Chain A
Amino acid sequence: MAVIGLSIGIALLVILNALSLAYHEAARAPLKEIGADVTVQRPGNVPEELSGAVFPCSAVTIKKDELDRIGKIPGIRGVGTAVLLWVFEPNRAWIALGVEQENPVGPSILKNFVAEGRYFEAGKPEALVESAYARQFGIKLGDSVSLAGRSYPVVGFVDASHAAKIAVANLYLPLAEAQAIAAASKPLQSVAPFGAGDVNLLFIRAEQEKITPVAAALKEILGPKTAVATPDSFLKLLGSFFALSDKFTLVASLIAILIAVLIAFKTMAGNVAERAREIGVLKAVGWTNRNVTRQLLAESVAQCFIAGIVGLLIAFAAAFTLGFMTVNIPIPWEMSPTPHFLPGGGTPLFKTLRLPVGIPGTLALFSVLLSVVIGGLTGTLLGRHISKIKPSEVLRHE
């Protein structure tokens, strides 16, 4: 009973923490797949008339001097930039994303998702088109697409369905081209002045423990209305108890382990009380209090160690089962803005993934050590209490 009670407590402790870690890990996924820990967008206005190149209302100009200051924030390990444009042509609307030629942080990772053709060559005004969009509109490799009065040869198709869900477009250009289009757009300039070297999307890789202060520093530089997306902000969107609060996990874990300890203690105390006669015999034949205490301690530690291992096995089985659960992480419209009037424009976007439930070695080790400590404490307390039994008292009433 003591082993079962403690096993269940340990299993609950491990699985609660594993679930919490899994939701935290899942919340990192939308940003991780674009190579970032933080994304930054500054909301602003859109021109009254949507024609030519404009910025979405969720991502307006981030100035070059602001970029320079951001690069100096402690804890930042890398910065990726992009320019996201809505370009309204007489016969077609494009969502165009200007990406850097090479950068492990940000949408340059699209290089790995070229399904057909090739990626841009450095310095050349070329375009990549999203595969599904190309199929829908019959665009072929080698065709030219016209954008804000400029012509770009299509050199490749990108399978965006397997790429990131953030900053999704249907046309991808070299960053310099997108910057040039933005700078030349009068409607855009009228609401969000845009200069050389400016961008409107930032992707930041930061030291994990410094993400929160980095996010605060970003808001300080770019203003309080700036949308700074972090793993924590995605965690809040998940809405799970495990995702919402580390305190919930902590409190639930403590309650689980406390109940388990009480069950273990009560059961073992009951067992030991039932063994009072046996302990009386041990003392009668020459066992000292220390001998008895050590024996009970060894038994208690062994029982609790076994309970810890059993609990861990239960937790592994539960983690394996929970690993089949899928989790849908909502991607805010602002992070992948599509004009509502375009097909699919208002469709909510989700990053769907299997819940990455795993039991880290440290958690497993902690749970087994905790079991042993519980066994040690229980055994010591009970041993001290029971070793005070006088053999004559328990053997007298035969």
Chain B
Amino acid sequence: MNNAILVGTGLTKTFDSLTVVKEATIAVGDGEFVSLVGKSGCGKTTLLSILSGLERPTSGSVTIAGKEISTASEDELALFRRQNVGFIFQSFNLIPTLTAWENTALPLFPVSMTEAERRRRATEILEKMELGHRVDHLPAALSGGEKQRVAIARALINDPKIVFADEPTGNLDTATGDAIMAIVNRLHKEQGMTLLMVTHEPELAKTADRVIRMQDGEVLA
């Protein structure tokens, strides 16, 4: 793949004696929406963690936007994620004591900028998620769909080169899940967002440009 923004080569991950990911090789093109599907426990979330720089592979290499990240230090990885990567988690992972705009601006807090600028950027992106009226609400006051939209806003605030989504509709009812997927698809189509999404739902996977299947830790051809 010539325009690959993400390349994982020969990735293996072993926990003690258990090999969860076996010699996986994967590439995602710039602006591409890829689904990674497989049964529960097949190693897709672990592979996503390795590809996104949250987890180190036991062997193999990962390159994002031309930077080899599998040998980077913890802090180098953190900085890299801050500047290049967005995450959408299944269980939202919002911080309950922070408001919607503060949760959205979470990646910006270590960055030197004024509070007003952080808030402006967070509010702007929340408005795009149709949450302009919820910026000062705590997560407890938000519905599941709203929480996930805040999480998407957080994933996008640093203008990432690639967004990793791990079962983004897993904790939502069908209607809300569909609405979230509509947002994800819109972002991909309108803004050319590169996306790697893990899901175990074949119907959801079909919305992607390309589907990669995993089974027993191996990426199927």
Q: Report if B59 contacts A (CB, 8 A).
A: no
Q: Report if A32 contacts B (CB, 8 A).
A: no
Q: Is the CB of A284 within 8 A of B54?
A: yes
What's the least CB distance linking B98 to chain A, in Å?
9
Q: Is the CB of B110 within 8 A of A395?
A: no
> Quick one: which of B45, B95, B110 contacts A286, CB cutoff 8 A?
B110
> Quick one: which of A284, A289, A390, A398 contacts B81, CB cutoff 8 A?
A284
Q: Is the CB of B49 within 8 A of A396?
A: yes
Q: Report if B149 contacts A (CB, 8 A).
A: no
The residues of A that contact B95 with a CB separation of less than 8 Å are: 278, 281
Q: How far is the CA of A393 from the CA of B81 in the complex (A)?
A: 17
Q: How far is the CA of A219 from the CA of B172 in the complex (A)?
A: 90
The residues of B that contact A208 with a CB separation of less than 8 Å are: none
Please, which residue of chain B has its CB at the minimum distance from the CB of A280?
A: B93
Residues 259-287 of A, flagged 1 when their CB comes within 8 A of B and 0 if not, give 00000000000000000011001111111
Chain A interface residue count, Cβ-Cβ cutoff 8 angstroms = 19
Q: Is the CB of B75 within 8 A of A290?
A: yes
Q: Report if B161 contacts A (CB, 8 A).
A: no
What's the least CB distance linking A3 to chain B, in Å?
16
Q: Report if A288 contacts B (CB, 8 A).
A: yes
Q: Which of B139-153 contact A (CB under 8 A)?
A: none
Q: Report if A193 contacts B (CB, 8 A).
A: no
Q: How far is the CA of A285 from the CA of B79 in the complex (A)?
A: 9
Residues 96-109 of B, flagged 1 when their CB comes within 8 A of A and 0 if not, give 00000000001101
Q: Is the CB of A288 within 8 A of B89?
A: no
Please, which residue of chain A has its CB at the minimum distance from the CB of B98?
A: A278
Q: Is the CB of A398 within 8 A of B90?
A: yes
What's the least CB distance linking B123 to chain A, in Å?
18
Q: Is the CB of B106 within 8 A of A285?
A: yes
Q: Report if B158 contacts A (CB, 8 A).
A: yes
Q: Is the CB of B90 within 8 A of A287?
A: no
> Quick one: which of B55, B79, B83 contacts A288, CB cutoff 8 A?
B79
Please, which residue of chain A has its CB at the minimum distance from the CB of B154?
A: A285
The residues of B that contact A286 with a CB separation of less than 8 Å are: 78-79, 81-83, 85, 107, 110, 158
Q: Is the CB of A392 within 8 A of B49?
A: yes
Q: How far is the CA of A146 from the CA of B166 in the complex (A)?
A: 110
Q: Report if A291 contacts B (CB, 8 A).
A: yes
Q: Report if A323 contacts B (CB, 8 A).
A: no
Q: Report if A391 contacts B (CB, 8 A).
A: yes
The residues of A that contact B167 with a CB separation of less than 8 Å are: 398
Q: How far is the CA of A391 from the CA of B110 in the complex (A)?
A: 17
The residues of B that contact A289 with a CB separation of less than 8 Å are: 74-75, 78
The residues of B that contact A395 with a CB separation of less than 8 Å are: 49, 54, 89, 93
Q: How far is the CA of A379 from the CA of B85 in the complex (A)?
A: 29
Question: Among B46, B81, B107, B110, which residue has the most Cβ atoms of chain A within 10 A?
Answer: B110
Q: Report if B87 contacts A (CB, 8 A).
A: yes
What's the least CB distance linking B168 to chain A, in Å?
12
What's the least CB distance linking A341 to chain B, in Å?
80
With A286-B83, A288-B79 given, name 14 new contacts (CB 8 A): A283-B78, A284-B81, A284-B87, A286-B82, A288-B75, A288-B110, A290-B75, A291-B78, A391-B54, A395-B49, A396-B46, A396-B49, A398-B90, A398-B167
Binding site for A on B (CB under 8 A): 45-46, 49, 54-55, 74-75, 78-79, 81-83, 85, 87, 89-91, 93, 95, 106-107, 109-110, 154, 158, 166-167
